[in-house]
Chains A and B, each alone.
Chain A
Amino acid sequence: MIRFEGVTKRYAGGPAPTADGSGDGSAVAVDDLSLTAPTGQITVLVGPSGCGKTTTLRMVNRMVIPTSGTITLDGRDTAALDAAELRRGIGYVIQHAGLFPHRTVVDNVATVPRLLGWDKRRARDRAMEVLARVGLDATYASRYPAQLSGGQQQRVGVARALAADPPVLLMDEPFSAVDPVVREQLQADLLTLQQDLAKTILFVTHDIDEAITLGDQIAVLRVGGRLAQVDTPERLLAAPADDFVADFVGRDRGYRALAFQPPPRVDLTVEPTVPLGATPAQARAATSDGWLLVVDSAGMPVGWVRPDQLTAAITPTDLHRGGTVARRDAPPRAYLDAALSSPSGRGVIAEADGRLAGTVTARAVVAALPHGIPDGAATQGDSARKAPRP
């Protein structure tokens, strides 16, 4: 558990603080922050630039020394510990990974174990283990950081932070420099990793979507380093504390809130399907409207075809792959997204093992939503009706 108690960071000689500042010529980066990051959970610090979120993070491992207040790690005051020893016990991941360019991947990851005095062999064995854990193939171990993609470097950065198995991880915008597809994958992998490892993670981002995806708890900071609200993602979306938070969590918050609700109780429609390789005649016989769902030999939905446009047996290149697939136990947002993204207007719902369970329309998902859903969401659902074509 990381606990901030009345922590303030003031830089001397900076520009005077904004409007309400005392005008003493010092800049306040973090203002009287009290916050607890619970053990085994991800606490996200989010806010616009200049809100002191990175300063807050860096005060935990004493890369920045607080002006006043105390920070405790599992009850121990960090100010009383030797800074280097403290840092060896805290994983640290930064933007662009911050890898050592002159060391191979495996030696980068082995850094902290080596600093802790492990012998080279054991440190490397451990590094290889952690690399596998973050999803990097062993063949990358002997490469240099410059030979990896941004996403791979970031994985190495996470592996390096985890190598000595520290209870606490600090992550400073670790995924903001990689492209959106890779970022999503890294986020998903971090959550998977976290399920096993249950680290106490303090994660800094300026991206509210990332905060909502990853956070068990989100702390929104405003410019000048003041805490605006600390809450679970659900609560933050449902009940922003003030205009600043409401504005910051964004206009799509009604839709995003659907990600935190239990699966909608809707009856799935049995969808006619054909397997890959089916003939045009088979497809035209099976279809009920302009679109037909295709499954592979294992019964997994692979995409939609338009039977009237088929000239030969169905191959993977014939498939329309625009539709997303929602798992049966997914929240309403995934159901709705599946329906809205499907060319037929019927969202594909799969069992946990990936086999087709049935389909559902956006209208049915919206109808199944509990009370308190903004009208906006229902309107979106209705507009999806025009998607099916004759």
Chain B
Amino acid sequence: MTWVWEHLGDIGGYAVSHALLAGIPLLVGLLIALPLGWLARRYPPVASVIVGGSSLLYTIPSLALFILMPLVLGSRILDAINVYVAMTIYTVALLVRTVADALGAVPESTRQAATAMGYRGFGRLVAVDLPLAVPVLAAGLRVAAVSNVSIVSVASLIGYPQLGYYLTDGYQRSFPLEIGVGIVGCLLLALLFDGAIRVGEWALTPWARAGR
């Protein structure tokens, strides 16, 4: 255990780096998935293309994607941008369907009532559809967050430092404690993300708790 205490500073730094690599793509991915999911919802003919295509992205092995990124982006091999972009792609892949489902979960009668009150398309989306989509959206976001925390650890194979480093390094040195630190660190981070999203959802949906 002394190893853990001696390396606490490193572990903390790697955890922060891991959180950023997983968290920033989560937010950016959500922002990209929102209009795509809305499009899929709005124009059923393109829905299969958007939802199917984005799901397909998720099947690309993460290691391959990390290695491909510099070729596509023209970035340096160790540039953090590679990881950010790759993780954003995975997030979008998971969230497009979630956004489409979340918007679809808004009751038709509520939508109709909003239109009849005189909301226009975008105004209605912001004022009525999105707030009501939050519970389904949050559920999908939690899955994507946990998935991101897990996938980011693979980036250590291309030498980008975060908690995944302890997995590869520990394996090479046959040092189980180090591997354990990597696993527990990822777990705690995933729980943190999950908890944060739950709190956000709780704050945004006082109405969902009413009448229970």
B211 at the interface (CB under 8 A from A): yes
Residues of chain A with a CB closer than 8 A to B207's CB? 101-103, 144, 146
A96 at the interface (CB under 8 A from B): yes
26 A–B pairs (Cβ distance < 8 Å), ordered by A: A61-B116, A63-B115, A87-B116, A87-B117, A88-B117, A94-B109, A94-B112, A94-B116, A98-B109, A99-B110, A100-B110, A100-B114, A100-B132, A101-B110, A102-B131, A102-B132, A102-B208, A103-B207, A112-B117, A112-B118, A115-B117, A115-B119, A115-B123, A144-B207, A144-B210, A146-B211
User: How many A residues have CB within 8 A of the partner chain?
Assistant: 24
CB distance from A254 to the nearest CB of B (A): 39
CB distance from A110 to the nearest CB of B (A): 11
CB distance from A191 to the nearest CB of B (A): 24
Measured between alpha carbons, how far is A111 from B120 in the docked complex, in Å? 13
Measured between alpha carbons, how far is A101 from B211 in the docked complex, in Å? 11
Q: Which A residues have a C-beta under 8 Å from some C-beta of B?
A: 61, 63, 84-88, 92, 94, 96, 98-103, 111-112, 115, 143-144, 146-147, 160
* Known contacts A94-B113, A98-B113, A99-B113; A146/B120 CB under 8 A: no
> Which A residue's beta carbon lies closest to that of B118?
A88
Measured between alpha carbons, how far is A86 from B119 in the docked complex, in Å? 11
Measured between alpha carbons, how far is A61 from B119 in the docked complex, in Å? 13
Contact of B128 among A84, A100, A144, A160 (CB under 8 A): A100
Is B210 a contact of A146 with CB atoms below 8 Å?
Answer: yes
Q: 13 additional contacts, CB 8 Å, given A63-B112, A98-B113, A143-B210?
A: A88-B117, A92-B113, A94-B112, A94-B113, A94-B116, A100-B132, A101-B110, A101-B207, A102-B128, A102-B205, A102-B208, A103-B207, A115-B123
Among B115, B116, B131, B210: residue with most chain A CB under 10 A: B116
> Which B residue's beta carbon lies closest to that of A103?
B207
Is B118 a contact of A85 with CB atoms below 8 Å?
Answer: yes
Is A98 a contact of B118 with CB atoms below 8 Å?
Answer: no
Contact of A100 among B113, B118, B206, B208 (CB under 8 A): B113
Residues of chain B with a CB closer than 8 A to A112's CB? 117-118
Contact of A144 among B123, B132, B211 (CB under 8 A): B211
Is A101 a contact of B132 with CB atoms below 8 Å?
Answer: yes
CB distance from B128 to the nearest CB of A (A): 6
State which residues 26-48 of B face A: CB under 8 Å.
none
In the complex, number of A-B residue pairs with CB atoms less than 8 Å apart: 63
Among A61, A96, A111: residue with most chain B CB under 10 A: A111
Is A84 a contact of B210 with CB atoms below 8 Å?
Answer: no
Measured between alpha carbons, how far is A85 from B114 in the docked complex, in Å? 13
> Which A residue's beta carbon lies closest to that of B121?
A84
CB distance from B197 to the nearest CB of A (A): 18
Residues of chain A with a CB closer than 8 A to B116's CB? 61, 63, 87, 92, 94
Is A115 a contact of B118 with CB atoms below 8 Å?
Answer: yes
CB distance from B126 to the nearest CB of A (A): 12
CB distance from A108 to the nearest CB of B (A): 10
Measured between alpha carbons, how far is A147 from B208 in the docked complex, in Å? 10
Is A147 a contact of B118 with CB atoms below 8 Å?
Answer: no
CB distance from A29 to the nearest CB of B (A): 17
Is B109 a contact of A147 with CB atoms below 8 Å?
Answer: no
Is A87 a contact of B118 with CB atoms below 8 Å?
Answer: yes
Residues of chain A with a CB closer than 8 A to B132's CB? 100-102
Residues of chain A with a CB closer than 8 A to B107's CB? 101
Measured between alpha carbons, how far is A151 from B118 in the docked complex, in Å? 24
| 6 cross-chain pairs, A with B, having the tightest CB-CB distances, nearest first | A98-B113, A146-B211, A88-B118, A144-B210, A87-B118, A92-B116
CB distance from B205 to the nearest CB of A (A): 7
Measured between alpha carbons, how far is A103 from B206 in the docked complex, in Å? 9
Is A92 a contact of B117 with CB atoms below 8 Å?
Answer: yes
Is B120 a contact of A84 with CB atoms below 8 Å?
Answer: yes
Contact of B210 among A61, A86, A96, A147 (CB under 8 A): A147
